[in-house]
Amino acid sequence: MKRSSMMAAVLVICFAMSSCSSESSSGNGEKLKITATTSQVADAAEQIGGDHVEVTALMGPGVDPHLYKASQGDTKKLTEADVILYSGLHLEGKMEDILTKISAQKPAAAVAESIPKEKLISAGENMYDPHVWFSIPLWLPAVDEVETQLKKAKPQYADDFEKNAREYKENLKYLDKKSRDKISTIPEKSRVLVTAHDAFAYFGKEYEFEVRGLQGLSTDSDYGLKDVQKLVSLLAAKQIKAVFVESSISKKSINAVVEGAKEKGHEVMIGGQLYSDAMGEKGTKEGTYTGMFSHNIDTIVDSLK
């Protein structure tokens, strides 16, 4: 039996035991307990829920959601939660069995799957690029879904959730406008973003960048010498001077590109570290969605303009 299937079976037992031993906090005056998979989803829940929620994120800084496997500690966090929020679109690939079991036992929502399919980037038959949070306009429906789930769980605080969500979305819209203004300072020919894996396609589509990743949509995919050589040729042809590492992925792949370019007589520097699948440390600017997004914009603009 696969490890994910075993964990899913354990969850079913735990849910049954917990439902018999205690009542959900959603029915009383206690804070609503929310367990989110990614820090991006957790941030939206915290911003909208305010003082009425207690949010736990399973995947912290530097964690790759594509490869993440639930631990027994995660099982406890999931069983104790009143509501489970996850990104979806197969981002949490190795947790899918567990998340499917959860949805049959208690409220659980894949917030990114509320985005209209026609706005998503296809990644094959019935598959889509899951990195939707890099387009702020595209991420707004996911934020709306978080608000909807909180209202369902704690309808007595619906007005507060609505007010918080409205303010949060206004901040995101302002950040979107400010980001576009900064990006406009980069010459169009220099708007080429090269990273370790293909996490920034929505960013490129929204903010008019050519985006290239050494690996595919998932960090589970491999890359070879030909992939490195293609990127080196692109960098040399367009005279791109900077490539970027990602906080949740080893620098090894991008260093191979830098070295490959050097061998071809084209000097390329590491433009900085971008937050892709994970945000920064809790309590820091980059530990919030707006802070993470601002950091990425500043790092890209400073290196490419």
Range of the domain at 67: 3-175
Same domain, 25 and 102: yes
pLDDT score at 31: 95
pLDDT above 70 coverage of the chain, percent: 87
Of the residues 175, 203, 236, the one at which a domain ends: 175
How much is the pLDDT for 25?
Answer: 52
pLDDT tens figures, 159-189:
999 999 999 999 999 999 999 999 999 999 8
Per-residue confidence (pLDDT) for residue 255, from 0 to 100: 85
Q: Is the dihedral of CA 276, 57, 291, 143 positive or negative?
A: positive
Q: What are phi and psi of 92, to 5 degrees?
A: -90, 60
Residues 189 and 89 in one domain: no
Average confidence (pLDDT) over 75-80: 90
**Are 33 and 152 members of one domain?**
yes
Top-ranked range on mean pLDDT: pick from 51-55, 212-216, 235-239 = 51-55
Q: Are residues 295 and 170 in the same domain?
A: no
Is the domain of 26 the same as that of 79? yes
Mark whether 249 and 170 lie in a shared domain: no
- Are 141 and 160 contained in the same domain? yes
Do 101 and 192 lie in one domain? The reply is: no
**pLDDT tens, 130-148?**
999 999 999 999 999 999 9
Closest CA to 48 of 137, 151, 173: 151
Total count of domains within the chain: 2
Q: Tell me what pLDDT residue 216 has.
A: 54
Mean residue pLDDT of the chain comes to 87
Q: What's residue 225's pLDDT?
A: 76
Q: Do 136 and 61 reside in the same domain of the chain?
A: yes
Confidence of residue 97 (pLDDT cuts 50, 70, 90): confident
* CB 223 within 8 Å of CB 230: no
Lowest mean pLDDT among 77-91, 214-228, 277-291: 214-228
Please tell me the predicted confidence (pLDDT) of residue 218.
47
Which of 150, 175, 200 is the C-terminal boundary of a domain?
175
| CATH code of residue 284 | 3.40.50.1980
- Whether the per-residue pLDDT at 296 is higher than 90: the answer is yes
pTM (2 d.p.): 0.85
**How many percent of the chain have pLDDT more than 90?**
57
